[in-house]
């Protein structure tokens, strides 16, 4: 998969892209991530990309033409195809794991980062296919959101994670959060690892994972649990657990 990121701050994006799992995934050829400096597509001497908003108001707005030329240049470099363009904006649909899964199936993807007060609406209308927000708050620029989206999508690309299963069985798959995790030592500060995890009994371990996922989701994200598919037996078990904990706290 190839992801092109259009930004005024490629350095901010580059630093993160080279690190850890995503860095290795690029070296091994599973994903290609390219940043593009929108400023390079200006035609004025000062390489200025922003201007005052028509109608007045605070702040500056990024001009349409450099954004458009940057987009055209990317399309040319990938054989004139027109990939989906995801504009990072607080006005978009809130990003989630399902969106990441859907986007990870694209061969090419462009992420567009705004800055200042945003980008001239006319170019957005021309090139943007998806408006995506990372949450109901306003950041100074689209670089952090683009990194969030890029990271989430990249780790879903087959081959990026060494263990193909780890992306399948984690939080938000099946609308459940992941179960708690433990590693060595077996005892730390007097706290022991749950014995079932040391038993080597795979069926019991899988059952424990499932129960813990359900319990954790009920406590931390009851909204998610409403969408999860539980058996009647699991529902009864959960009610008993929650009632038991309530009694314990009284």
What residue ranges bind ligand SAM (CB under 6 A)?
A: 88-91, 113-115, 117-118, 133-135, 137-142, 145
Q: Which residue is nearest to ligand SAM (CB)?
A: 114
Cα gap 1→212, rounded to integer Å: 34
Which residues does 197 contact at the CB level (< 8 Å), separation at least 6? 182, 205, 208
Nearest residue (CB) to ligand SAM, 124 versus 160: 124
Q: Minimum distance between the CB of residue 132 and ligand SAM, rounded to whole angstroms? A: 7
CB count in 10 Å sphere of residue 149? 23
Q: Minimum distance between the CB of residue 241 and ligand SAM, rounded to whole angstroms? A: 36
Cα gap 22→114, rounded to integer Å: 23
Nearest residue (CB) to ligand SAM, 144 versus 228: 144
User: Are residues 64 and 123 in contact, defined by beta-carbon separation less than 8 angstroms?
Assistant: yes
Nearest residue (CB) to ligand SAM, 56 versus 190: 56
User: Are residues 175 and 169 in contact, defined by beta-carbon separation less than 8 angstroms?
Assistant: no
Q: Minimum distance between the CB of residue 101 and ligand SAM, rounded to whole angstroms? A: 19
Q: Minimum distance between the CB of residue 58 and ligand SAM, rounded to whole angstroms? A: 9
Nearest residue (CB) to ligand SAM, 83 versus 142: 142
CA separation (Å) from 194 to 44, 153, 206, 208? 65, 33, 13, 10
């Amino acid at each position: 998969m190839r992801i092109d990121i259009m930004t005024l701050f490629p350095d901010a994006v580059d630093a993160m892209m080279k690190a850890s799992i995503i860095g290795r995934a690029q070296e091994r050829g599973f994903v290609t991530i390219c940043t593009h400096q929108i400023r390079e597509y200006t035609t004025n001497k000062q390489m200025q990309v922003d201007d005052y908003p028509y109608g007045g108001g605070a702040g500056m707005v990024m001009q349409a033409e450099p954004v458009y030329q940057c987009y055209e240049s990317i399309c040319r470099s990938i054989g004139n195809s027109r990939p989906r363009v995801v504009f990072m904006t607080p006005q978009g649909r809130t990003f989630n794991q399902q969106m990441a899964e859907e986007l990870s199936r694209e061969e090419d993807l462009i992420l567009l980062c705004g800055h200042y007060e945003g980008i001239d609406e006319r170019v957005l209308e021309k090139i943007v296919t998806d408006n995506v927000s990372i949450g109901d708050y306003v950041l100074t620029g689209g670089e952090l959101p683009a990194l969030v989206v890029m990271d989430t999508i990249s780790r879903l690309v087959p081959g990026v994670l060494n263990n193909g299963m780890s992306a399948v069985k984690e939080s938000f798959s099946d609308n459940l959060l992941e179960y708690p995790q433990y590693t060595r030592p077996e005892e730390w500060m007097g706290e022991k690892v749950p014995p079932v995890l040391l038993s080597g009994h795979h069926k019991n371990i899988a059952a424990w994972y499932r129960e813990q996922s359900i319990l954790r989701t009920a406590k931390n994200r009851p909204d998610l649990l409403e969408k999860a598919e539980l058996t009647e037996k699991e529902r009864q078990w959960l009610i008993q657990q929650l009632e038991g904990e309530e009694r314990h706290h009284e």
